[in-house]
Amino acid sequence: MTWLLRDATAIAGIGETAYTKAGGTTRSELDLACEAIARAVADAGLTLRDVDGFSAYSGERSGLTEVAQTLGLGRLRYAGLYPGGGNSAAGVVHNAAMAVGSGTARAVVCYRSICQGQHLRFGRARAGYGTGAKTVGETIGGTQAFTMPFGLMSPAQMYALDARRHMHEFGTTSEHFGRIAVACYAAAQRNPRAVMRGRPLTLEMHQASRMIADPYHLYDCCQESDGACALVVTTRERAAQPVLIAGASQGLAAGDGNERHRRPEALWTTAGMADIAEALYANAGIGPEEIDVAQVYENFTGQVLMALEDFGLCKRGEGGPFVASGAIDWPHGRLPINTSGGNLAEAYIHGLSLVVEGVRQMRGTSTCQVEKARHCLVVSGPSAPPSSALILRRA
């Protein structure tokens, strides 16, 4: 958990490219990254020469140096990488805010560019998951040397274990997971940027879709996409239309790990983020009852349900009845989630687009705007340690 001065920093600008299914673009990731960054800087009312810092994912192929040179930036005073993938979405913003809050930099850009049609598909079963290895013949080590012989080779297989355990412990059903997917697809129908706009989903369609990794059906799984998005973090005073960073938190639960090797029993029915949630609320000076809207990373729907529990938005074990009650549905639910369509139905840009949607909610410009929303929770990859979360506040 790391220090952050409440409301002193803000997201001043956001930018995106068009989003497509994997393989939908012939442009390079670097080209897409530069477009998204230029749009975010312009939206902030700044120039590229004002940018003096970058905060990016460690797996970003559009490197900080290449992006800076391509855009003709001046001197950079901060360059940071957050370890991992979807777990990084709020973490890169947190790191940027700390750089600005400490005076290290004045305007830090966070960005993510992905072309899964040209490069690695994250959902594919493969050797060396997370290491860059692409074929079974390549050398692997660490926990994968233990898990792969037992068939644990893809993210869907890994995260399905948590979901099945939650079903066993609390009576959670596949229909409960399906309600999350249906809510995300419903939001996407109002969003012109969403890849799945024009393709509404019903619970019956969800249940009839093919099984990917029991209990996860096709529609429980995030998309594979091409696109990029970016945002600018600066001081509250410097932002023309500030969305305040009320709180941020990141961390790793003791003993947790992506491949579930030697994972403590207590974490098998959680998103592994209860400690992050506790620190986040303390940092922001509010409680879960003050969250008006949430953007929760959906690598898989069960992890959303568990994250809702970890962040105190419903009680432990009651995530299934909570989503079934309509609480997460826009516009009448008590806590609408993923109001752009999220990773499931807008695009999978490793979660940074969820932060962008959080900014839109706080600006009042979302296509599924929550009336009078003052606080937006943004949760990065659940059960994907180390992970991170933000609370954004309307200025």
**CB of 382 closer than 8 Å to CB of 296:** yes
Record the tokens describing residue 133, joined without a space. Answer: 């290895």
Rounded distance between C-alpha atoms, residue 345 and residue 189, angstroms? 9
What confidence score (pLDDT) does residue 195 get? 98
CA distance to 113, 120, 203, 333, 345, per residue, from 321 (Å)? 36, 37, 15, 13, 23
The residue that leads in pLDDT, 120 or 395, is 395
Residues assigned a catalytic role? 297, 348
Query: Binning pLDDT at 50, 70 and 90, where does residue 259 land?
Result: low
Which of 136 and 188 is assigned the larger pLDDT?
188
pLDDT above 70 for 11: yes
Tokens of 3: 């220090």
* Half-sphere exposure (Cβ direction) of 280: Cα atoms closer than 13 Å: 32
Q: Using an 8 Å Cβ cutoff, are 34 and 88 in contact?
A: no
The vertex-358 CA angle with 357 and 362, nearest 5°, equals: 115
Structure tokens given for 280: 């986040």
The arithmetic mean of pLDDT across residues 216-231, rounded, is 97
Compute the distance between CA of residue 199 and CA of residue 286 in angstroms, rounded to an integer: 37
Structure tokens at 75: 């001197």
Higher-confidence residue: 369 or 120? 369
Q: Rounded mean pLDDT of 171-181?
A: 98
| Residue 242 to residue 249: CA distance in whole angstroms | 20
Flag whether pLDDT at 52 surpasses 80. Answer: yes
Q: 3-state SS of the chain: helix, strand, coil percent to 5?
A: 35, 20, 45
What pLDDT does residue 252 have? 87
Stated as kind and residue range, the H or E segment containing 27 is: none
pLDDT digits (tens, 9 = 90+) for 281-297: 999 999 999 999 999 99
Based on C-alpha coordinates, what's the Rg of the chain? 19
When pLDDT is cut at 50, 70 and 90, the band that residue 141 belongs to is low
User: Confidence band (pLDDT; 50, 70, 90) for 336?
Assistant: very high
- Spatial CB neighbours of 315, under 8 Å, sequence gap ≥ 6: 309
Task: Determine the average pLDDT of the residues in 346-358.
Answer: 97
Phi-psi region of 328 (alpha: psi -120 to 50; beta: other; left: phi over 0): alpha
| pTM for the full predicted model | 0.94
CB 268 within 8 A of CB 165: yes
Report the distance separating Cα 366 and Cα 358, nearest Å: 9
Confidence at 131, pLDDT banded by 50, 70, 90: very low
Mean per-residue pLDDT, 148-168: 89
pLDDT value of residue 130: 46
The Cα diameter of the chain in Å comes to 56
DSSP lists the bridge partners of residue 337 as 294
* 3 state DSSP class of 265: helix
> Six-digit token pair at 108?
């830090």
Nearest to 243 by CA among 368, 334, 126, 378: 378
Q: What confidence tens digit (pLDDT) does each residue in 74-95 have?
A: 899 999 999 988 999 999 999 9
Q: 14: burial class by Cβ within 10 Å (0-12, 13-18, 19+)?
A: buried
Q: Domain coordinates of the chain in residue numbers?
A: 9-118+222-394
The architecture in CATH of the region 9-118+222-394 reads: 3-Layer(aba) Sandwich (3.40)
Low-confidence winner among 83-87, 237-241, 316-320 (lowest mean pLDDT): 83-87
What's the pLDDT at 140? 64
**Rounded distance between C-alpha atoms, residue 37 and residue 107, angstroms:** 12
pLDDT interval class at 2 (50, 70, 90) = very low
**pLDDT > 70 fraction of the chain, expressed in percent and rounded:** 91
Q: What percent of the chain has pLDDT over 90?
A: 82
| Predicted pLDDT at 132 | 45
3 state SS of 387: strand
| 8 Å CB contact between 90 and 378 | yes
Q: State the pLDDT at residue 278.
A: 97
For the beta carbon of residue 26, count every other beta carbon within 10 angstroms. 10
